[in-house]
Amino acid sequence: MKMTPKEFNKIFDHTLLKPPATEADLKVICDLAMTYGFKTVAINAGTTAICREFVKGSDVLVDSAVGFPLGITSIPVKVFETEDCIQNGAGEIDYVINVGKAKEGNWDYIKEEMEAIVSTCHKYGVPCKVIFENCYLTDAEKIKLCEIANLVKPDYIKTSTGFGPTSATVEDVKLMRSHAIPEIKVKAAGGIRNLETCLQMLEAGADRIGCSASVEIAEAYAAMYQGN
């Protein structure tokens, strides 16, 4: 890896999405994100405002999850949630597609949903990440989603919520990277708990990493960097 530790740390969306998370827990991850210089704190929509307050004065963004983790809410509800998060200080949005519609092959719905949320984000200059939830999809369905994304042009496509039966895989990152246009980046998330796995995801084509083990991985990378 050619990145400095400071550059490396900017690949992370430092994540706390578990239901029992308290304000005290959120304060901890926000403080850590500022200490290590992570790109964002990735949190549930309802905690956007408090996290924005916690990271105030820093360059750490609040990355709010919309339609999370199931993705089954309607398009107007997702758009409203997106707007609400942005108004409360979200600097990035990750939304979950309606996986059932993808399984039905209702690609018009998927495209309509993606256009609605991406356009809402871009109206405010906020990057949008589209969560595929690959554990439920065939490779053909993942490729179709990439093709729709190529038309709509979200900022990122993302492997997983981390709440499904399986998480990010190197194979999925490679598949997404090979079928998405260059200007769409890839985020790997879910099950990335050590430096080795993180580096494999980056090598496969990931540009951003979502995980709760960011601190441990960042420290392992800094030690490796200093040892070279």
Active site residues: 94, 158, 187
Separation between Cα atoms, residue 202 and residue 11, nearest integer Å: 9
Separation between Cα atoms, residue 98 and residue 58, nearest integer Å: 34
Structure tokens at 208: 């951003």
Distances 226 to 3, 15, 36, 131 between C-alpha atoms, Å:
12, 26, 16, 35
Those residues whose C-beta lies under 8 Å from the C-beta of residue 226, and which sit 6 or more positions away, are none
Q: State the Cα angle at 10 between 78 and 49, rounded to 5°.
A: 40
Tokens 């998405």: give the residue.
Answer: 180
Neighbours of 36 (CB within 10 A): 21
Separation between Cα atoms, residue 194 and residue 209, nearest integer Å: 12
| Strands (DSSP E) found in the chain | 12-16, 40-44, 61-66, 92-96, 128-131, 156-158, 185-189, 208-211
Q: Are strands 156-158 and 61-66 parallel, antiparallel or unpaired?
A: unpaired
